[in-house]
Amino acid sequence: MSTTPIQEHFYPDTKLSPDVLIRLHELMLRSRLLEERLIRMQKQGDGYFWIGGPGEEAFNVSLGLLVDKGRGPAHDYLHLHYRSSATMVAMGIDPADAMRQMKNTATDPYSGGRNFVNHYSIPEWNVVPVSSPIEVQFSMAPGTALVQKRFGGRGITIVQGGDAGTAEGDFASCLIWSTRPGMELPVLMIVTNNEFGISTPAAEQHGEKRIADRGKAFGMQTAVVDGNDPETAYAAIKQAMDYVRTERRPFLLEAKVSRLYGHSSSSGANFVTGDVDCLARFEKRLEERGILSRAKMDELRVQETQALLEMSKRVRVEPQPKGPTIYDHVFAPTEVGGEARARQDAMCAVGKTAEINNKEQS
């Protein structure tokens, strides 16, 4: 995959220090190995379904390193999708938590065993719940961005989806709501373009040459970047973020990425050839530049692999949620109308809890 030309004035400097490159590599490797471990877990019966983002590490790790992490409108809001695991790894999640969600344990901190793997939800970091329906996050992003526009400061809303999802009306909603005259919103819209919608090639579905060009009709700054190159991606994301942070206006960034294990476990989750492997390419470059030796990188790979394997063994024996907990968290506690809430709880529980308990006992 070749680097798509980008608007020159946005990326004057793509040079990163060796320390940052080494950090990028470490996180890309960890992200890749985590996804491969999750795939293995699913294939070994330690999970029902896998979907993730191996192939997007160069872009997503860069994004994660650049996020202003925290809670509330002063920090960045993240409306991510299920291919964003590398962003989360770069932000500092415990990889065991991703395994917990894969294994749908009660200890899964994102959904308590209720949702698919890589469906993150972390209020402390403004990571709003990832949704399985694609592109709905683009409808929600203007809401958090509107709060940030009023709040001021440098916090921005980052929303990310795939190329196929841009066919949904929610993508158009985000373009329209983010660019209303006088009400422009601090939204960084990201399209990771792997040129597939499940099994449908983009070439059959997209008339436009560059998805990013759709932003131009709304007067947005746009760019296309080689998302398989961490240095280019890092610089492009930083430039786009800086623009949104300071101008308080939206930016549409399209990143060309690979999809190395197909769409999901439904399509086999086997390594595909022919796509650029951003990690292998980056490792070759690091070796050529003398930043990391092959031996050092191999050693790191062995260490990380072993650590993830040990983690998965621990997660495997963690408890599953109990059936009656399906009635937990239907509604948040209400101060007004407390009596009515008690009746609702009673209504929900009629017969059901006893029935489930009986089933479990039998």
What is the binding site for other proteins (CB under 8 A)? 72-73, 77, 79, 108, 110-112, 114-115, 121, 123, 128-129, 131, 133, 136, 138-148, 157, 169-170, 173, 176-177, 180, 328-341, 343-344, 347
CB closer to other proteins out of 12 and 333: 333
Instruction: In angstroms, give the least distance from the CB of 38 to other proteins.
Output: 20
CB closer to other proteins out of 138 and 261: 138
Instruction: In angstroms, give the least distance from the CB of 116 to other proteins.
Output: 10
CB closer to other proteins out of 91 and 292: 91
Identify the CA nearest to 237 among candidates 19, 22, 1, 24: 24
Instruction: In angstroms, give the least distance from the CB of 88 to other proteins.
Output: 15
Instruction: In angstroms, give the least distance from the CB of 70 to other proteins.
Output: 13
Instruction: In angstroms, give the least distance from the CB of 207 to other proteins.
Output: 22
CB closer to other proteins out of 47 and 227: 47
CB closer to other proteins out of 15 and 329: 329
Cα(44)–Cα(47) distance, integer angstroms: 8
Match 């200890």 to its residue by tokens. Answer: 107
Instruction: In angstroms, give the least distance from the CB of 357 to other proteins.
Output: 20
Is 197:163 a contact under the CB 8 Å cutoff?
Answer: yes
Instruction: In angstroms, give the least distance from the CB of 304 to other proteins.
Output: 29
CB closer to other proteins out of 317 and 330: 330
CB closer to other proteins out of 20 and 74: 74
CB closer to other proteins out of 188 and 279: 188
Tokens read off for 283: 């490792």
Is 130:148 a contact under the CB 8 Å cutoff?
Answer: no
CB closer to other proteins out of 118 and 239: 118
Backbone angles phi, psi at 21, to 5 degrees: -65, -40
Instruction: In angstroms, give the least distance from the CB of 137 to other proteins.
Output: 9
Instruction: In angstroms, give the least distance from the CB of 127 to other proteins.
Output: 10
CB closer to other proteins out of 158 and 308: 158
Strands laid side by side in the 187-193 sheet: 77-79, 157-162, 187-193, 251-256, 221-226
Instruction: In angstroms, give the least distance from the CB of 157 to other proteins.
Output: 8
Handedness of CA 3, 186, 10, 172 (dihedral sign): positive
Burial per residue of 293-324, b for 16 or more beta-carbon CB atoms within 10 angstroms, e otherwise:
eeeebeebbeebeeebeebbeebeeeeebeee
